[in-house]
Chain A
Amino acid sequence: MMDILLEPLQYAFIQRALLTAVFIGITGAVMGSFLLVKRWSLLGDAISHAVLPGVALAYLWGMPYFIGAMATALLTSVGISFVEQHSRIKSDAAMGIMFISAFALGLAIISRAAGQVDLFHIMFGNILGVSPSDLWVAAVTGLLVLLVVVLLYKELLLWAFDPVAAEVMGFPVRGLHYAMMLLLSVTIVASLQAVGIVLVVAMLITPAATAFLLVRRFGPMMVVASVLGVTAAVIGLYLSYYWNLASGATMVLVSTAMFFLALLLSPQEGLLWQTLSRRRRALRVAGEDYLKVLHDLSAAGTEPVPMALLAERMGEPESLVRRRIQYLQRQGFVAPAVAADGTPAVALTGEGTMRARFIIRSHRLWERYLAEKGGMPWHAVHAEAHALEHLTEPPELDRMEEVLGYPRHDPHGAPIPTREGSLPDDPSVPLTEAEPRTPLTVVRVEDEDPAVLRRLADLGIVPGRRLEVKSGDGDRVLVLVTGAEHTLEPYLAAEIFVRPAGSGNRS
């Protein structure tokens, strides 16, 4: 492994290439960070293409290429500003006009001087061919950019974020603007030898865009972008050496690969993270539904709850039920137990009971809220509340409770747990078990089945209603509701919970 890394370093041209890669990796990433937040990508592209005629002329006349390149880069920047200010043309069109025409001029010059200038080299660069003077240009440029950005960090940050505020505060916004255009031109020219005219913008933008996905402050973004830029350049360099690939293209491709990796894996915004958090939420919602059922069964006297009964109530296979219970156990909400008949069972812990009551509180407050403030009919609120109960935070619930005037019961008569988690005992019995020919009051009705609720509403059997069982056998129950007489099927009667009239109060 070390050999693979060290072997190429015996060649001076590789050493130069590596150092150049480090310099332009950092410089490009720092300038690229500004390009990204200023939306200057197109400007970067414009300047890089505009250097072609300068480079071509410099080669023809035997001058250092970066002098020609800088000259045409700056001329183009000025030209863009001129077109923008002296016509109604917007900046993107102005850039399009100027850089394509400069590029065309460069091509025209090169076509006259066929054979003397290597067009492929100028367009796509070759980091393995950098001369000592190219390395010097890259090094000096890098230091210059870093020096300016470090010294003027806060001014540049404000200029990038809010140029109007910067101007009102008295910072020389125009000066900063032109200084950054100049630095951008220098950076691009210094990177030409390594990656060429066509690819240079990718070296600037891609590491910055990757860093943008990973951090949420500008300073750290520049640091992360620099690390990514250098890493991509160095890896690209090695790959191009061993696989004999075009160096500029390889570096850009490595950088792009890193970008897509970040898009997939970045915290919060990454696609993988989002998928995972969706799964986590689904697990939590399912777990909370289990807690509610366990709470119901425990309150009805079945404690601990046999796993077989739980599976039947949830309508899920026992293997899945076991996984759900393991999940709840890890959270400390349930503990394993043994049922009276010796089969495996599960019991709510104190914490599990509190959590279950919080979900019940959320559900019942939502039902009340949807019925009272949302104007929904009482048979429809259960399903809505079932979805909302898992998404509501304690402070929001407390506010809802306040808005509703601290109700004690949901629209179906079930008590609402307090914010401390206490739940009054339920003394009611199903109508099927009630004493015949004694005055009764409806305490609550089961809310799972909208059809049942609609039927009961039609019959006027709602919480607080007085009624009396006239007679009942196994097949039907005859009830008197304030004078009217109804015959109820037992399944319907079992959904109605009553207590003797006159015992206790209700809100």
Chain B
Amino acid sequence: MTMNAKPPLLEVRNMTVSYGHRPILRAVDLTLAAGQLLGIVGPSGAGKSTLLKAILSLIPMESGQVLMHGRPLGRPRGRIAYLPQRGNIDWDFPATALDVVLMGRYRHVGWLRRPGPEDVALARRILERVGMAPFADRQIGRLSGGQQQRVFLARALVQETELIILDEPFVGVDAASEKVIWDILDELRASGRALLMVNHDLSVVERYDILMFLNGHVVAKGPPEEVFTPENLRRLYGTRVITIDETVGLP
């Protein structure tokens, strides 16, 4: 690395995370530049969500470093938008789609103040962009799974961060919503945002700029066409994947 090279937007160095005495992640490294989408794939229990949470300081690291623009990140404090898995939300909560999107503006609004008309206008614009404008005043429990996910994506967008972290954004999502979400992710990438995503769906790996196979440690990492090989899949999933491949391969 030369002295005048611009540091990457996000860098994780040698991250190790344990629950109690059980190690979950060992020596994970990753680098993500502006305008890139990094996809993380791995079996359940591989520590994918843990990696995201450790980057966000939601759980402590045992060792390692998280750097943003070359400086230690610490608590992100609004510099990263996070789209968690859908299961952790109380969908009966008395809030409308617009209320939820406005929550994304709270950091910008500042203490002791309420979101203003320009925040509401922005939230409505973003709802329009994810195709949810007609449902702005609907209680969130009365939306379909895909619509709920689009509202949460809108909440991430109004935060106007350079980095968005998404944990399984396509689980329980209909095909139409999935397309909307992908379109917006592509737009974000084109506009120079960085995206870090956990997604179990192996059929979309060619959409990533960087593909990471994770199973407690980094099994493989790089351009999808180099990483997505039968050899690496076998190393990631063990022998199970061989039978799956053969079934799929049958005429």
Contacts and interface: CB of A to CB of B under 8 A. Distances in A.
A27 to B, nearest CB: 20
A216 B107 contact: no
Max chain B C-beta neighbours (<10 A), residue from A157, A158, A165, A170: A165
A450 B114 CA distance: 65
Interface string B97-128: 00110010011010110110000000000000
B94 A215 contact: yes
Contacts of A290: none
Interface in B62-114: 75-78, 80-82, 84, 88-90, 93-96, 99-100, 103, 106-107, 109, 111-112, 114
B31 to A, nearest CB: 21
A171 B111 CA distance: 10
Interface stretch (A123-131, A147-155, A258-266, A402-410): A147-155
Contacts of B56: 168
Interface residues of B, number: 30
Given A164-B84, A169-B159, A158 B103 contact: yes
Contacts of A330: none
A217 B90 contact: no
B94 A212 contact: yes
A161 B152 CA distance: 13
Main secondary structure of the interface of A (DSSP, over half): helix
A475 interface: no
Contacts, number: 72
A169 B77 CA distance: 5
A37 interface: yes
Contacts of B115: 154
Given A218-B94, A221-B94, A168 B103 contact: no
A167 interface: yes
A115 B94 CA distance: 48
Contacts of B242: none
Interface in A146-199: 151-155, 157-158, 160-162, 164-165, 167-171
Main secondary structure of the interface of B (DSSP, over half): loop
B139 interface: yes
A154 B94 contact: no
A168 B80 contact: yes
Contacts of B96: 216-217
Nearest to A216: B139
Interface in A285-318: none
Contact of B109 (A154, A161, A221): A154
A46 to B, nearest CB: 21
B168 to A, nearest CB: 15
A164 B94 contact: no
Contacts of A167: 58, 75
Contacts of B89: 161-162
A167 B80 CA distance: 11
A157 B100 CA distance: 10
Contacts of A160: 93
22 contacts: A37-B94, A151-B112, A152-B112, A153-B114, A155-B106, A158-B106, A161-B89, A161-B90, A161-B93, A161-B103, A164-B58, A164-B84, A165-B82, A165-B84, A165-B103, A165-B155, A170-B76, A170-B107, A212-B94, A215-B94, A217-B95, A218-B99
Interface of A: 37, 151-155, 157-158, 160-162, 164-165, 167-171, 212, 215-218, 221
Q: A-B pairs with the 3 shortest C-beta distances?
A: A170-B77, A216-B139, A168-B82
